[in-house]
Amino acid sequence: MTTTRFAPSPTGYLHIGNLRTALFNYLIARKAGGTFILRIDDTDPERSRPEYVDAIREDLTWLGLTWDREETQSARLDRYEAAADKLRDASRLYEAFETPVELDLKRKKQLNMGKPPVYDRSALKLSEDERAALKTERSGHWRFLLDHERITWTDGILGDLSIDAASVSDPVLIRGDGQMLYTLASVVDDVEMGVTHVVRGSDHVTNTATQIQIIAALGGQAPDFAHHSLLTGPQGEGLSKRLGTLSLRDLRAEGVEPMAVVSLMARLGSSDPVELHGSMDEVIEGFDPGRFGAAPTKFDRDDLGPLTAKYLHGLPVDDVAMDLTEAGVPQDQATQFWDTIRENVETRRDIASWWALIRDGATPVIEDEDRDFVAEAMTLLPEAPWDATSWSTWTGAVKEATGRKGRGLFMPLRKALTGQSQGPDMGRLMPFLRRPKL
């Protein structure tokens, strides 16, 4: 049974990069009819916040990413302790006492000597007395003893990978203050929760190598791993600093539609073209992780605008019923109004703007050179209420009286009636409008 998980740390709001990970795992589970777990990686009590947990749930729900099960790491600390004991019993976990400053110094020395900055395992060489002396001074942290062999796996996106364990420091699993670190907690959860596929960012490749050994040491079965490339900006620039400004809730506040985000992210960086999907089922159907490449994926926030607009243009009136009601559109005019404006909305917020223009009347815009023309046209404007023929009747009469035609005829009249140079078909809009106060 396919089981995947999305495992955010609740230390901030989800951004577009996190979404990529969430979406891939979600789609794999749904496509296989499996289980998708939301796992809250909150073993860091200082940085984790309950309000971010709520925000994560809210953002995923907004996107339509439903989960079958929720797990919280802070509620499973005893499981990680048990695993740590097991590793100690197998002599795969050892206590080390270097301070961060000492470790930093060691790394610098190694680098100066042209050596890779890998932890030198000094802790293993301590005598009993030295160890006892250090223990009275400070609490030690716990490192996993890597087997110095090549760690290999076939990555679902990157293909065959091989990492020399000797090129990696023995990972710290438990901090000096007793805090369980992600590397162990994640492995214990993946094994005990029967996770079969893990998709995460390529910044986790080295973690994966060490986790494969930890899983084996715990007697578990490693899941299939796939590492997607990291997002860059449109020019290939790193996004990490800007990701804070690309939070899902900011996109939502800007009026971006969830289906636009999901459609883009389910294809960006793959060999398939981006296409707008109408429903999550369609996205699930068309998803294939094997079609994604290793190269960094360029993300342009501006791509979400046209996709959002296109999505909205195709929506039936029932799907915008709430927005219409909130904007104050009377029920009996809802369908006609939506059909009139739908091609002209870029976000749902435009629904209220168009209705406000109709309800409150527009401030006419008249260019100086059009003053006489518009004044004359107004004398020919039939009395409101107008119907579907009013615009053509009126513009026909104005054309005849003034000799103007085409854009020179229509544009000043549109601007006089709506205050805008663009907008819905005037013939359809006229029945909603009122005579401008000139």
Contacts to ligand GLU by CB under 6 A: 7-9, 41, 182, 186, 200, 204
Of 21 and 297, nearer to ligand GLU (C-beta) is: 21
Distance CA(40)–CA(81), nearest Å, equals: 18
What's 144's DSSP letter?
Answer: E
Whichever of 9 and 420 has its CB closer to ligand GLU, that residue is 9
The radius of gyration of the chain from alpha carbons, rounded to an integer in Å, stands at 31
Strand partners, 270: 292
- HSE, CB side, 13 Å, CA atoms: give it for residue 373: 23
Query: CA-to-CA distance for 266 and 292, rounded, in angstroms?
Result: 10
Tell me which amino acid residue 271 is: S
We find the least distance from the C-beta atom of residue 159 to ligand GLU, in angstroms, to be 20
48: tokens are 């984790």
Whichever of 226 and 283 has its CB closer to ligand GLU, that residue is 226
Q: How far is the CB of 182 from ligand GLU (least distance, A)?
A: 6
CB of 223 or CB of 423, closer to ligand GLU:
223
Nearest distance from C-beta of residue 103 to ligand GLU, angstroms: 22
Cis peptide before 273 (omega within 30 of 0): no
Dihedral of CA 302/303/308/310: which sign? positive
Q: Are 213 and 146 in contact (CB under 8 A)?
A: yes
CB closer to ligand GLU, 25 vs 418 = 25
Residues 6+ apart with CB under 8 A from 114: none
- For ligand GLU, which is the closer residue by CB, 53 or 321? 53
- Which residues does residue 283 pair with via DSSP β-bridges, in sequence order? none
17 or 140: CB nearest ligand GLU: 17
Distance separating alpha carbons of residues 7 and 1, to the nearest angstrom: 19
Nearest distance in Å: CB 39, ligand GLU: 8
Distance CA 373, CA 402 (A): 8
Shortest reach from residue 345's CB to ligand GLU, in Å: 36
CB 165 within 8 Å of CB 149: yes
With beta carbons less than 8 A apart as the criterion, state whether 413 and 398 touch.
Answer: yes
Which C-beta is closer to ligand GLU: that of 8 or that of 156? 8
CB of 25 to ligand GLU, least distance (A): 8
Rounded CA gap, 183 and 169, in Å? 13
Q: How far is the CB of 7 from ligand GLU (least distance, A)?
A: 4
In the complex, the smallest distance separating the C-beta of residue 200 from ligand GLU, rounded to whole angstroms, is 4
